[in-house]
Amino acid sequence: MEGTQVTRIPGGAIPAVDEVDLTPVRTYWQLVRQRFVRHRLAVIAFFLMAILVTAAIAIPLLSGDAWKETSLERINQPASLTAPLGYDSLGINTFARLMKGLQTSLFIGFAAVLVIVFIGVTVGSTAGYFGGWVDNALMRVVDIVLSIPTFFLILMLVAFWGTGNVWVIIIAIGLTGWTTAARLVRAEFLSLREADFVQAAKALGAGDRRVVMRHMIPSAMAPVVVAATLGIADSVVVEAALSFLGFGITPPEASLGNMLTKAQDYFYRNPLLAWYPGITLVLVVLAASFLGDGLRDALDPRQRVETN
Amino acid sequence: MTQRPTRTGELLSIDGLKTHFYTQDGVVKAVDGVSFGIRNGETLGVVGESGCGKSITALSVMRLIERPGRIVAGSIRLADRDLLALSDEEMRDVRGNAISMIFQEPMTSLNPVYPCGDQIAEAISLHEGIHRREAGDRAIEMLSQVGIPDAKRRAREYPHQLSGGMRQRVMIAMALSTNPELLIADEPTTALDVTIQAQILELMKALRERNRMAIMLITHDLGVIAEMADDVVVMYSGKVVESSDVNTVFEQPHHPYTKGLLASIPRLGEKRHRLEVIQGVVPNPLNLPKGCLFKRRCPSAMPVCDTPPPLQEIQPGHLSRCWLTPAGEPPEIGADAEAETAVAAAAALTVEA
C-alpha cells in the first residue's frame, strides 16, 4: 500500500490516521459570532436593536408615569434636559411617551413573532415530514389563510375580541402571519427528509419525534430566524397601522401607532410630533431587517470562516 | 417459494425478499426474490452495478424503505427474530443496536449542526439510556478506538471541520458504539481517496476481529470484496445471479455477468489495449426483458434465455442463475428448447438457495 500512511497506535491493532490538521477547535457559537461580526451592517443593526430594546425597557421604568402625566403648564413646551423632545399638546413628556410607545410596539412585535414561529414551525414541520395527505391538507389551510386579506382579518379579529387589548393584537397578528414561516419550514423539511444524516439518524434507531426535533428543526431554523426577524418588523408595522386606525392600542396607553394618529392633528403646528414615532418605527424595521440578514449568514454551520 | 433451510449459526437470513416501488409509471421491482444469509462473524460482500438493488436490500433489512416502496414478500430474520414482524418501536431498538449501518457519503451522513462527539453520544444514549456525560466519555473512547488522534478535541469539532476519511471514521465509531452484531456498510469507501480507502478497510478489518461482528458489505468495487469478504453475492436487476465464497467467485466464476465484472478490472503487468467492458446498460426496471434479465448484454445468450433461467447449484455452496451447465456448456435440453420444456427444466434445476 504505497502512499498510505497508516500508523499504529500503541497497545491496539487499530490503524490511526496520520493527518495533520491545525485548525483550532471552535464551538458553534464562536463560529456564529465570527461570521456575524463580518457582516458590518448586521453588527450596526444589532447595536441599534440593543439600544432600542434597552431604552424601551429602562426609560419607562426610570421615568415612572411621565409618559401619561398631563400638565396644562407644560403644553407644547420646548425641549429641556428632562424632556429631550419637549412636551406635546397635552403637556406630556414626548420622549417618555415615545419610549413607552416603543416598548409596547416592540413587545407586540416580539410576542407576535413567537406565536408566528410556534405555529409556523409546527405546521411546516408536520407537513414536510409526513408528506402525503397530511402535507396536502395543511398546505391548503395555508393557502386559505393566505387568500384572506390579512389586515382586514386582523381588524375583524381585534374588533370582535376587544379593541385595545395587547394580547388580542398579538394573537391576531400571530394567527394570520404564520403562513410564510410554515412554508419555509416545510420546504426545508422536504429536502432535509431526504438528507443522508436524517437517514443515518433513523438507522441509529431514532424515532420520528427525535428525528424531527433534534435533527431536522435545527437545520431548518436558519430561514425561520430570518423570517422571524423580518416578522418583528412586519408586526410592529401592523400594530402601528391598527393603532393608527384606532383599533390597536388606544390612549392613554402609548404605542408608536397611536402617537402618529395624534400627531396628525398638530401636523402643521408641530410636525416633529409625527417625525419622532415615524423615525423610531423606521429604525426598528431597519434594525430587524439587517439583523435577520446577518443572522442568516451566521447561523449556517456549513459556511466556513476564512482564516485570516 | 419453499423455505430456505437455515444454515447453522446464521445471524441474518433473508428469504425471498421482494421490495417493490409503486411509482406513477408502474411497479419497480427493485429487489425481486433475494435470498442469502450471513453467519456470525462473517463478512458478506454484495456486489453489483448501480441500481441492481444492493442498497434497497440493505434498507429493507433496516426497514427504512419509504413510500412509494414497500416490502411485499419474503422474510428477514436476525438470529431468532423475524424483523418484518416487529412493531415500529421494537424495530427502532434493533436499528443502531443489533444492526448498525454506515453510509456511502461521510460528507453528508453526519448532522452538520452537532459536534461529532455529541452525535456518537446520542447513538449511545439512545440505546443504553445512560447519562449524557457518561455517553460523552464513551464517545471520546470510541473516537480513539477508530484511530482518531486527539479524540477529546475532535469530539468537539463539527463535521465540516473534518476530512472525508475522518468523517467516515466518525460514522464507523457511531455505528460501532453500541456493539452491533451486524454492521451494514453501504459503499463505505466509495466517496474516499484510494489511500484513505485502504485505511478505512484496514480499520474495518481490525474492528471486525475485535468485536466479532458480521458485516454486510455493499460495494461495486471488486477490489474491496477481495480484500474483505468471506462470501460474495452478485446481484443484477434485483436478483441474486451468483453466490459463493470469495475464492470461487474470483477463480471460477460461472455467471456471464460475474465473468464480465471480473474481466473489466485492469490488471497490473498485463498488456491490453482496451479494457473489456460489459456491453449495454442495466435494463429499465419498468420494462424488464422476458426471461433472463441479463440476456441482452450476455455474450453467451441463446434462445432458451427467453425462459427465466434456473438458480442452479454449480458445486456445493456455489449458486448461479444461468442456463449454462456447471461446465459452461449450453443446457442439456438444448439451446433452443421449447418454452414449456425449458420451464420444466428450469424448475428441475433450480435449488432453493
For the stretch B316-334, pLDDT in tens is 888 999 888 888 888 877 7
Strand partners, B217: B45, B185
Contact A28 B158 (CB under 8 A): yes
User: How many beta-carbon contacts under 8 Å exist across A and B?
Assistant: 125
What residue in A sits closest to B178 (Cα-Cα)?
Answer: A204
Contact B147 A17 (CB under 8 A): yes
Do residues B107 and B170 touch, judged by C-beta distance below 8 A? no
Q: Which of B149, B195, B207 sits opposite A3 (nearest CB)?
A: B195
CA distance A53 to B34: 65
CATH 3.40.50.880 fits A101-298, yes or no: no
Neighbours of A64 (CB within 10 A): 10
Q: Please give the grid coordinates belonging to residue B48.
A: 453489483
Helix (H) / strand (E) element for A143: namely helix A132-147
Q: Which of B111, B166, B198 sits opposite A19 (nearest CB)?
A: B166
Go through B189-215 and write b for each residue having 16 or more CB atoms within 10 A of its CB, e for each that does not. Answer: bebbeeebbbbbbbbbbbbbeeeebbb
What residue in B sits closest to A4 (Cα-Cα)?
Answer: B195
Positions of chain B with pLDDT under 70: 1-8, 270, 272-273, 352-353
This model of the complex carries an ipTM of 0.79
Taking the CA of residue B36 and the nearest CA in chain A, the distance in Å comes to 21
Do residues B63 and B89 touch, judged by C-beta distance below 8 A? no
Specify the amino acid at residue B3. Q
Do residues A211 and B120 touch, judged by C-beta distance below 8 A? no
What residue in B sits closest to A299 (Cα-Cα)?
Answer: B113
Classified as helix, coil or strand, B260 is: helix
A83 CB-side CA count, 13 A: 18
**How big is chain B, counted in residues?**
353
Contact A301 B163 (CB under 8 A): no
**How big is chain A, counted in residues?**
308
Question: Which of B22, B61, B113 to probe by mutation at the A interface, max A CB count within 10 Å?
Answer: B113
Do residues B261 and B278 touch, judged by C-beta distance below 8 A? yes
Q: What is the pLDDT of residue A2?
A: 41
Do residues A221 and A158 touch, judged by C-beta distance below 8 A? no
Peptide bond connecting A251 to the previous residue in cis, omega within 30 degrees of 0: no
Q: What is the pLDDT of residue B163?
A: 83
In angstroms, what is the C-alpha Rg of chain B?
A: 22
Residues of A in contact with B165 (CB under 8 A): 17, 19
CA distance A124 to A303: 25
Contact B169 A17 (CB under 8 A): yes
Q: What is the pLDDT of residue A24?
A: 55
Residues of A in contact with B96 (CB under 8 A): 203-206
Distances (CA, A) of B144 to A15, A301, B96: 10, 25, 20
CA distance A149 to A167: 21
Q: What is the pLDDT of residue B302?
A: 85
Positions of chain A with pLDDT under 50: 1-12, 20, 22, 305-308
Measured CB to CB, residues of chain A less than 8 Å from chain B are 1, 3-6, 9, 12-17, 19, 21, 23, 25, 27-28, 31, 131-132, 195-197, 199-207, 210, 214-215, 218-219, 301-302, 304
Q: What is the pLDDT of residue B19?
A: 92
Q: What is the pLDDT of residue A3?
A: 41
